Amino acid sequence: MDQKWDPAAGTVLTLLILASSVLFELSLLAPAVSASPAPRSPICIDGDSSFTPGNGVNGGGDGTAENPYLIENWLIDASSTHGIHIRNTTKYFIIRNVTVEKGRERYYGIYLYNVRNGRVENSTLENNLYALYLEDSDYNIISGNTVKNHSRCGIHLSNSDHNIISGNTMESNSQSGIHLSNSDHNIISGNTVKKNWHGISLSSSDYNTVSGNVVENSSEGISLSSSDYNVLSGNIVKNNLEGITLWYSKSNVLSFNTCTGNTGSDISFSDLAKSTSNTLEANTYATSQGIPGISNVISSPGQTSAVISWTTVEPSSSIVEYGITTAYGCTATEGVTTSHSVTLYGLSPGTTYHFRVKSVNIDNNLEISGDFTFATPTPPTSSLLLLVVAAASLAALLSVIWHLKVWWGRTGPAL
């Protein structure tokens, strides 16, 4: 039996294409310049009029999308105040190739408050309270940064929407590598997050996309708390104490994630903090809690029917979608169980069928397998059929002759 994963995930793909487009366009507008950072004092910009050379602006133009302000190539000691503090701005700017360090237990590396249209890229942030803290800040891009050894979180968003966090490396931060609090419609993609207490965590945050990240060697890989309508897709979550965990979260989509080597559960919906009406599709995992837990999908085809069987960890419904393409088009159902068996009738001989199984548990969490295929046997060819008929006829004739011989031997002269 062949298994083929369907890579289509339209919503996620659309968001990622949009994010890539934005990043590409900004990179064309302001080409990166790499140089050794020069020491300078912390930067504080309050309002659009404060983007001046005296406040660390050392390149760029007039703060438009086509010609953003540049703050680059600085080495900043944050031991006495926040390293870079920008607030109450809407002008376009880029912070890049800066190093901000030594804020330790008191100060942030970069703090954006009530900021739109900013970008932080290719910078090193180390040994601060937070690396980057965005508060009430929307439509910003955080990409390609190295974030290590912070007393609390690496990247923290509070009441901040429509931001992109992409291609960063978060390592050895005491709390979360990336944390969202009351923040919606953000994209977190392509980050490497390792050796943090929480890898990526969302609290009271909705409609975010978390995709293509690698999260490893943390207490919890990816966790959602009271967070709804998020998409978690294509992440690799490995070697954590817990893989993907949901608490009091509903209507999220988890698809095509790979969860391996986690000490507890690879995917866990807490029994004490119910998460309902979530959808899981084609995830790879070994252990689970609070979800149907589909495994051991097997097909047994005949010429015109097939039996599809699978198991679940929790009692769940039995649904099979099937057809000659991945659009399926036909559905067969049975009852609630943990050992599922559904028979498909009315199949055509000699035909390849696609199918997937679906199960819904008591908390209305729906799990969908990946795409599988089976082929119904081809009926015998006409020549083979004639040979079979001829053989059967010969056998019948020989039987008749034998019975006649026995009868004649009993009633008449010997032959």
In angstroms, the CA 169 to CA 190 distance is 9
**Does residue 15 register a pLDDT over 50?**
no
pLDDT exceeds 50 at position 390:
yes
pLDDT at 36: 86
State whether CATH 2.60.40.10 applies to domain 295-375: yes
Residue 184 in tokens? 């919606």
Q: What is the mean pLDDT of residues 1-20?
A: 43
For the chain, the structural domain boundaries read 2-289, 295-375
pLDDT per residue as tens digits for the range 108-132: 999 999 999 999 999 999 999 999 9
pLDDT band at 176 (very low <50, low <70, confident <90, very high): very high
Q: Cα 191 vs. chain centroid, distance in angstroms?
A: 12
pTM score, whole prediction: 0.84
pLDDT reading at 173 higher than 80: yes
pLDDT at 102 over 90: yes
Q: Say what the pLDDT of residue 271 is.
A: 80
Instruction: Report the chain's C-alpha Rg in angstroms.
Output: 31
SS3 per residue for the chain: CEEECCCCCHHHHHHHHHHHHHHHHHHHHCCCCCCCCEEECCEEEECHHHCCHHHCCCEECCCCCCCCEEEECEEEECCCCCCEEEEEECCCEEEECCEEECCCCCCCCEEEEEEECEEEECCEEECCCCCEEEECCECCEEECCEEECCCCCCEEEECCCCCEEECCEEECCCCEEEEEECCCCCEEECCEEECCCEEEEEECCCCCEEECCEEECCCEEEEEECCCCCEEECCEEECCCEEEEEECCCCCEEECCEEECCCCCCEEECCCCCCCCCEEECCECCCEECCCCCEEEEEEECCCEEEEEEEEEEEEEEEEEEECCCCCCEEEEEEEEEEEEEEEECCCCCCEEEEEEEEECCCCCEEECCEEEEECCCCCCHHHHHHHHHHHHHHHHHHHHHHHHHHHHHHCCCC
Record: fold of 2-289: Pectate Lyase C-like (2.160.20)
pLDDT tens digits, residue range 141-171?
A: 999 999 999 999 999 999 999 999 999 999 9
Mean pLDDT, rounded, of the chain: 90
pLDDT of res. 272: 79
How many Cβ atoms are within 10 Å of 329's Cβ, its own excluded? 10
Half-sphere exposure of 170 (CA within 13 A, CB side): 40
**Residue 330 φ then ψ, to 5°:** -120, 150
pLDDT score of 413: 54
**Residue 136 pLDDT greater than 80, yes or no:** yes
User: In the predicted model, is pLDDT for residue 327 greater than 90?
Assistant: yes
pLDDT at res. 6: 45
Residue 224: what pLDDT? 98
Nearest to 94 by CA among 159, 185, 23: 23
Structure-block tokens of residue 24 = 């590409």
Are the CB atoms for 212 and 188 separated by under 8 Å? no
- Answer whether 233's CB lies under 8 Å from 209's CB: yes
Phi and psi dihedrals of 23, rounded to 5?
Answer: -65, -40
For 253-280, the pLDDT digits (tens) are 999 999 999 999 999 998 878 999 999 9
pLDDT band at 7 (very low <50, low <70, confident <90, very high): very low
Measuring CA to CA, which residue among 162, 205, 199 is closest to residue 178? 199
